[in-house]
Amino acid sequence: MLEENVLVSFLRKFDEQPFLVKMNGKEYLIGEGKPTFTVKIHKMIPIKDLVTSTSLALGEAYMDGNLEIEGNLYEALNHFLGQMDKFSTDQKALKKLIFSSPAKKNQEKEVRSHYDIGNDFYKLWLDETLSYSCGYFRREDDTLYQAQVNKVDHILEKLYLKEGMNLLDIGCGWGFLLIEAAKKYQVHGTGITLSEEQYREFRHRIQEEGLEDLLSVEVMDYRDLPKTGKKFDRVVSVGMVEHVGRDNYQLFLDCVNQVMEPGGLFLLHFISALKEHPGDPWIKKYIFPGGMIPSLREMLSDMAEDNFHTLDIENLRLHYNKTLLCWEENYKKHIPEVRKMFDDRFARMWDLYLSSCAATFRNGVIDLHQILATKGINNQLPAVRWYS
């Protein structure tokens, strides 16, 4: 009974909107008014775990089926993550989890733990482009597919591409951006990734599109780029720097700088934060091991050290909220297949991941920024804005 009271008391902190807690045949109303969702607790969550990491304790309880949400999962997470300042995190106790090694071998292992779980899995709920980053919704009724095509078109316009240029994509994913760049602008594109699954799929797509003369893909760490001796007129990186780690942001940008032609354009598309923080323990343990969200200000500061001149900054936070809700809708249709591929715990984990990320963007816990910069001064660019 004491344990139950302590747990309810802990949950009462999150009282900005009313919700119901059910456990051991009892009901507790949190907040005032008609509850919008219900938290059903089937097995007690130790208060020690909640204090060590609220997100880890609640996340694991949900994955294990010890905690259920009656109502809309996204709306419930929107409620809790909108009050994330009330979450507890004992960084000292979770030091090994939160601050992992930025060494090459470890980061390769961390990246593959997420992206190499199977192309067939990602094809279930991503759109046909296999784009696993924020879409760009030009119109309210844009489909997910159209939003991803819009995003790539938007990036390629910003890069001011000309036929024959060399374009590098660091963390190229399954290759849609480079394929579009080659087809629409006749540029020579190189993609690098640490994911074997993405590498194989991208290579297949290059052959399928007959673009072998224009495109290539390699399994490579960004730190090895300067050793290649290659130079690029344009460099793009979409959703990759989040895997680099705070200690290596400057190193990452140094490597970009070393492979760019003077006056070249660099577009960095990344999940960002208002301030520098070490990240969420649940996300780090189960979804993105070693992941670290840069703040916009530290990325701009580090870019200045390499003489990158910022031309444009765009925030796509609400576009990512909508993208994630589209992914979540697709994912829910395929949960029975996901259970067969993995198990029920994984299926619940991924559902929680997509919904919680949508909620964090909705609440401004994290943002999505695109920074466009030149390496040094480029006076050959038009004085007017050249992209829509």
The CB-side HSE value for 334 (13 A sphere, CA atoms) comes to 18
The CB-side HSE value for 166 (13 A sphere, CA atoms) comes to 10
Evaluated on CA atoms 204, 207, 209, 215, the torsion sign reads positive
Q: Catalytic: 134?
A: no
Structure tokens at 174: 């399954």
Of 134, 172, 326, 357, the active-site residue reads 357
Structure tokens at 315: 């925030």
- Contact yes or no for 324/39 (Cβ under 8 A): no
Residues sharing a CB contact under 8 Å with residue 51, sequence separation 6 or more, in sequence order: 88, 90
Three-state secondary-structure class, residue 190: strand
Q: What amino acid is encoded at 140 in this protein?
A: E
Q: How far is CA 204 from CA 179, 207, 221, in A?
A: 12, 5, 21
Distance separating alpha carbons of residues 263 and 256, to the nearest angstrom: 13
DSSP for residue 293: P
Distance separating alpha carbons of residues 28 and 312, to the nearest angstrom: 50
Distance separating alpha carbons of residues 276 and 112, to the nearest angstrom: 25
Distance separating alpha carbons of residues 283 and 136, to the nearest angstrom: 24
Q: How far is CA 280 from CA 51, 356, 357, in A?
A: 14, 11, 11
Q: How far is CA 235 from CA 192, 228, 253, 352, 372, in A?
A: 11, 15, 11, 34, 10
Pairing assessment for the beta strands 367-375 and 260-272 based on DSSP bridges = antiparallel
Q: What is the DSSP string of 88-106?
A: -B-TTTTHHHHS----HHH
Q: Kindly list the catalytic residues.
A: 357
